Amino acid sequence: MTTTVRADQLGDAELQRHFDERIAHDQRIEPRDWMPEGYRKTLVRQIAQHAHSEIIGMQPEGNWLTRTPSLRRKAILLAKVQDEAGHGLYLYSAAETLGVDRAELTEKLIDRRQKYSSIFNYPTLTFADIGVIGWLVDGAAICNQVPLCRSSFGPYARAMVRICKEESFHQRQGYELLMTMMRGTAEQREMVQEATDRWWWPSLMMFGPPDADSPNTQQSMAWRIKRHTNDELRQKFVDMTVPQAEALGVTLPDPELRWNAERGHYDFGEPDWSELKRVIGGGGPCNEQRLARRRAAHEEGQWVREAAAAHAAKQAAREEVAR
Ligand SMILES: [Fe+2]
Ligand SMILES: [Fe+2]
């Protein structure tokens, strides 16, 4: 017995060494490869949270689908919201390669055992919000997600390549919408400014808590799941967005925002981290509504899932007879 245990332990050490080497050489880890349990769990948590965010993220924009100012805007918004559904599906599929299933993840989301991005708990009050979400929220998502195309886990990295291409369309459609409104009436310009004021700080919070309060970051970076810290990504987003705001003609609501020539970056104010904690903890303006809507959609979709399963079983039985 003793010999067996020792051999197993040696086996694990060997597997761990092989895993570490692949990570060090920037090689991808694939679903059938051995991986430490912590790596698998971290990925399941991160990919599930990401998938849930894509799905819940359809709600704030879906709110305006029946009230777009033109057919053209409706077609664009519909395409964008459908893309987000697709992103959710690619990501649930990536999570399934780690041995969990989509139904289980959805249950965890609607039972509040797994989270989604805090940004989707804010309301969309005017049509300018649709433009600002594309510009700032999809813009922040791009900053977060482009480095994930090089994430060490193969299925996640590959899903991100396709998602990022679509995210850049989302950002452009938002910016183009805002440009159009800024060329319009004084009232339209005011709407854009007001929406920017509401979404700016929540967008900065999309990168998560500051590095000092982000206990998992170091391990995720060592495993090359993440490539940059929250604060690095937040800085990158600010540097990218300030010139865009200038071109648009809106003011970002931060009196501390200024170029720092020494650092070669913009300095900016501190987001209200207590607000982030409150919104993540369920106290945002729309948390209840978002989860209730998701739960209802899941329950109302039960017959579709049953019908699809019955159809698949029938097909399989027919193929069996044909053989
Ligand atoms: Fe997306
Ligand atoms: Fe998007």
Q: Is the pLDDT of residue 123 over 60?
A: yes
* Distance from the alpha carbon of residue 156 to the mean position of ligand 1, in angstroms: 14
24 domain-assigned: yes
pLDDT, mean of residues 225-253:
96
251 domain-assigned: yes
CA distance 288 to 294: 10
7 domain-assigned: no
208: left (phi over 0), alpha (psi -120 to 50) or beta: left
Q: Which ligand has the nearest atom to the CA of 54?
A: 1
Q: What is the pLDDT of residue 7?
A: 47
pLDDT, mean of residues 211-236:
91
Q: What is the pLDDT of residue 29?
A: 96
Tokens of 39: 């790596």
Q: Which ligand has the nearest atom to the CA of 137?
A: 2
Give the closest residue to 121 by CA, choosing from 274, 290, 297: 290
Q: What is the pLDDT of residue 154?
A: 96
Structural domains of the chain, count: 1
45 domain-assigned: yes
* Distance from the alpha carbon of residue 147 to the mean position of ligand 1, in angstroms: 15
Q: Which ligand has the nearest atom to the CA of 84?
A: 1
* Distance from the alpha carbon of residue 60 to the mean position of ligand 1, in angstroms: 13
Other beta carbons less than 10 A from residue 221's beta carbon: 13
6 domain-assigned: no
Q: What is the CB-side half-sphere exposure of residue 173 using CA atoms within 13 A? A: 22
CA distances from 107 to 59, 103, 298, 299 (A): 18, 6, 9, 11
Q: Mean pLDDT over all residues of the chain? A: 94
E strand or H helix at 309, and its extent?
Answer: helix 302-322
Other beta carbons less than 10 A from residue 282's beta carbon: 12
Q: What is the pLDDT of residue 9?
A: 64
* Distance from the alpha carbon of residue 86 to the mean position of ligand 2, in angstroms: 10
44 domain-assigned: yes
Residue 260: exposure state from Cβ atoms within 10 A (0-12, 13-18, ≥19) = exposed
| pLDDT tens column, 30-69 | 999 999 999 999 999 999 999 999 999 999 999 999 999 9
Question: Model confidence at 11, in pLDDT bands (50, 70, 90)?
Answer: confident
| pLDDT tens column, 257-280 | 999 999 999 999 999 999 999 999
Give the closest residue to 182 by CA, choosing from 169, 195, 199: 195
Q: What is the pLDDT of residue 5?
A: 43
4 domain-assigned: no
| Structural domain for 279, as ranges | 12-322
Q: Which ligand has the nearest atom to the CA of 139?
A: 2
CATH number at residue 218: 1.20.1260.10
267 domain-assigned: yes
* Distance from the alpha carbon of residue 233 to the mean position of ligand 2, in angstroms: 17
Question: Model confidence at 3, in pLDDT bands (50, 70, 90)?
Answer: very low
3-state secondary structure of 258: strand
CA distance 237 to 146: 12
Strand partners, 259: 266
Gyration radius of the chain over CA positions: 22
Other beta carbons less than 10 A from residue 215's beta carbon: 8
* Distance from the alpha carbon of residue 167 to the mean position of ligand 2, in angstroms: 5
Q: Is the pLDDT of residue 195 over 60?
A: yes
Q: For the chain, give the percent of residues with pLDDT over 90.
A: 90
* Distance from the alpha carbon of residue 270 to the mean position of ligand 2, in angstroms: 26
